[in-house]
Amino acid sequence: QVQLIESGGGLVQPGGSLRLSCACSGGTFSSYAMGWFRQAPGKDREFVAAASKRGNITRYTDSGKGRFTSSRDNTKHTVYLQMSSLKPEDKDVYSCADKEIDSTVLHRLGCDFWGQGTQVTVSS
């Protein structure tokens, strides 16, 4: 059973930065593409970013391009989401998820396991 645990969320001022982490236990981390998603209460979950299983290919939404960077350290079984130039509209619960594929389109195929999420709030 794969377990994903996010950390690094919090309150940050507009224009600030946060780095989210997602630690994976169980399974074979290097076999999984990893994705980041966001969700507001009562709304559908939205794709944010993804990293291929080797981390050499990444994918972002248009709103995240140039501001967010997804990376991973397979030796630490951890994927990261570096978020910069944060805006109030970036506020949401951010979750990570995985899928055993060799691409970054896990958001289209459905993910296998999900973390509980970490809250990101952007406010002055």
| CB distance 51 to 71 below 8 Å | yes
DSSP 3-45: EEEEE--EEE-TT--EEEEEEEESS-GGG-EEEEEEE-TTS--
| CB distance 24 to 44 below 8 Å | no
Tokens at 77, concatenated: 């079984």
Place of tokens 């998820």: 97
Could you read off the pLDDT of 72-122 as tens digits, one per residue? 999 999 999 999 999 999 999 999 999 999 888 888 888 999 999 999 999
Q: What is the mean pLDDT of residues 36-45?
A: 94
Q: How far apart are CA 65 and CA 59, in angstroms?
A: 9
pLDDT of residue 64: 92
